[in-house]
């Protein structure tokens, strides 16, 4: 897919997503937030948006069956999952699943970015940045920071 963004556009979308996560979905710095999307610009924006909000990024594979995705979100105690319209259907009502595209194409997208809100988030070098899951030699997925 021949998609591209300028650095300025990327920064803007990341800031908008971060503020949406903080203000509308009440994510907290240090909280674990999952993303289940195919490789795309939205995936990059999602990774950076979660990190900019001070949260811990946890990727989930859209190719995994629903029961595995459910187990992983339960294990991480993730409050929400960023997804696309196709991947949203893999999650039950226990997970707040947000369509990242709906945020990025919203009519409200021209909002002013509150840089002060983003600047006030404190992240230390010792904080966890992301969590990935191994397949687990016992068959049970194991989280690795």
Local mean pLDDT, 10-residue blocks, the chain (145 residues): 87 91 92 94 96 96 90 89 85 78 69 76 93 80 83
**How many H helices and E strands in the chain?**
6, 6
Domain range holding 103?
Answer: 7-144
**pLDDT score at 1:** 63
Among 33, 31, 28, 29, CA closest to 96? 33
* Domain count within the chain: 1
pLDDT of residue 104: 78
Q: Which pLDDT score, from 0 to 100, does residue 135 have?
A: 75
On whether residue 26 sits in a domain, the answer given is: yes
Examine residue 43 and state whether it is found in any structural domain, yes or no.
yes
Yes or no: say if 133 and 142 are a contact pair by the CB < 8 Å rule.
yes
Paired strand residues for 50: none
Residue 3's pLDDT is 82
CATH of the domain at 55: 3.40.50.980
**How many Cα atoms sit within 13 Å of 46 on the Cβ side?**
27
Q: What is the pLDDT of residue 114?
A: 76
- Is residue 92 included in any domain, yes or no? yes
Instruction: Report whether 56 contacts 30 (CB < 8 A).
Output: yes
pLDDT reported for residue 136: 67
Residue 111 lies in a domain: yes
Q: How confident is the model at residue 116, as a pLDDT? A: 80
Q: What is the pLDDT of residue 120?
A: 86
Residue 27 within a domain: yes
1 lies in some domain = no
Distance (Å, whole) CA 81 – CA 97: 5
What's the whole-model pTM score? 0.88
| Whether 97 contacts 91, CB under 8 Å | yes
Q: Does a structural domain hold residue 140? A: yes
Assigned domain for 2 exists:
no
């Amino acid at each position: 897919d021949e998609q591209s963004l300028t650095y300025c556009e990327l920064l803007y979308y990341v800031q908008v997503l971060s503020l949406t996560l903080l203000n509308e979905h009440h994510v907290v710095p240090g909280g674990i937030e999952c993303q289940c999307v195919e490789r795309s610009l939205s995936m990059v924006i999602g990774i950076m948006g979660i990190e900019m909000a001070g949260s811990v990024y946890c990727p989930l594979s859209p190719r995994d069956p629903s029961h595995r995705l459910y187990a992983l979100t339960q294990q991480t105690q993730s409050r929400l999952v960023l997804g696309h319209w196709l991947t949203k259907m893999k999650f039950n009502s226990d997970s707040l699943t947000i369509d990242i595209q709906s945020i990025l194409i919203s009519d409200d997208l021209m909002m002013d970015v509150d840089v002060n809100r983003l600047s006030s988030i404190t992240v230390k070098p010792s904080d966890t940045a992301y969590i990935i899951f191994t397949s687990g030699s016992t068959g049970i997925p194991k989280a690795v920071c």
